């Protein structure tokens, strides 16, 4: 079938020092001994990316960045260019995470431009969308998220490898997850939008769920219709938890 393997991506956010590399090494060793059905990636803080990529070299675990700048280089203090992520061994990049949209006022238009930059550099984007609690309670979750999909995904994605991550903001780091019914409803709406934008290719793009995915809810979430993987924050920091989620995919 055309269905790609699920993707389980760990987002370490602003967590992780040198000792965290041991957790990643443990994940890789376990997957080398017992290969997973899913593709697996870890997106560490930028300071660890080069060392993590080296530690995982030769394993099945991919690495990714958590953001990149829209420009390819230049006077942008504190930012990271897509080519620098590639240079540090990354093959993926998370773009448009709600924490970037909130903390750094990133708009969907900027996210779309970053996606183009990432693709040009050769990175596979994981593009995040998701509604706030106020938007869900107002009944506008579906239109908000489908608009984010339309506005954050440039036409340049046609035929390219990428995924979309649906992360309801109220479920991130809160221990609260969306119900399977809510996840399936949203993923179906995102799928319809992807097919509208990209035709047959849009039917195969993995749609990840993110928001308090843990070992004890992973099987239920990953078994839901149109869930093609997970973006995992907190639970990706511990090898045993991350491996349990990977095994559920």
User: Which residue of this chain has its Cβ atom nearest to ligand PEP in the complex?
Assistant: 233
Task: Determine whether 124 is an active site residue.
Answer: no
CB atoms under 10 Å from CB of 74, counted, come to 8
Q: Which of 68, 80, 15, 2 is CA-nearest to residue 236?
A: 15
Residue placing its CB nearer to ligand PEP in the complex, 177 or 198:
177
Longest CA span, the chain: 48
Q: Which residue has the tokens 């987002």?
A: 11
Binding site, by residue number, is: 11-13, 173, 212, 233-234
- In the complex, the smallest distance separating the C-beta of residue 171 from ligand PEP, rounded to whole angstroms, is 6
Residue 6, Cβ density class (10 Å: 0-12 exposed, 13-18 middle, ≥19 buried): buried
For residue 202 the two structure tokens come to 């849009």
Q: Which of 125, 119, 121, 132 is CA-nearest to residue 95?
A: 125
Task: Determine whether 76 is an active site residue.
Answer: no
Given 99, 131, 167, 226, the catalytic residue: 167
Residue placing its CB nearer to ligand PEP in the complex, 93 or 198:
93
- In the complex, the smallest distance separating the C-beta of residue 207 from ligand PEP, rounded to whole angstroms, is 14
Residue placing its CB nearer to ligand PEP in the complex, 197 or 215:
215
Binding site for substrate, by residue number, is: 11-13, 173, 212, 233-234
Residues binding ligand PEP (CB under 6 A): 11, 167, 172-173, 210-213, 231-235
The residues carrying an active-site annotation are: 97, 167
């Amino acid at each position: 079938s055309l269905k790609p393997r699920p993707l389980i991506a760990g987002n370490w956010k602003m967590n992780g020092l040198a000792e965290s590399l041991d957790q990643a090494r443990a994940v890789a060793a376990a997957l080398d001994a017992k290969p997973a059905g899913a593709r697996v990636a870890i997106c560490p803080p930028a300071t660890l990316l080069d060392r993590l990529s080296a530690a995982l070299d030769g394993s099945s675990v991919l690495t990714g960045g958590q953001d990149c700048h829209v420009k390819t280089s230049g006077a942008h203090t504190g930012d990271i260019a897509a080519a620098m992520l590639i240079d540090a061994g990354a093959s993926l990049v998370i773009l448009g995470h709600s924490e970037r949209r909130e903390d750094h006022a990133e708009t969907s238009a900027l996210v779309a431009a970053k996606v183009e930059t990432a693709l040009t550099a050769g990175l596979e984007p994981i593009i995040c969308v998701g509604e706030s609690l106020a938007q869900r309670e107002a009944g506008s979750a579906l239109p908000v998220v489908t608009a984010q999909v339309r506005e954050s995904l440039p036409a340049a994605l046609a035929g390219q490898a990428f995924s979309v991550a649906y992360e309801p903001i109220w479920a991130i780091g809160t221990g609260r997850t969306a119900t399977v019914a809510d996840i399936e409803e949203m993923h179906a709406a995102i799928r319809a939008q992807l097919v509208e934008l990209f035709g047959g290719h849009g039917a195969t793009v993995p749609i990840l769920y993110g928001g308090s995915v843990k070992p004890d809810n992973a099987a239920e979430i990953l078994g839901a219709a149109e869930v093609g993987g997970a973006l995992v924050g907190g639970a990706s920091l511990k090898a045993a938890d991350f491996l349990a989620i990977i095994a559920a995919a």
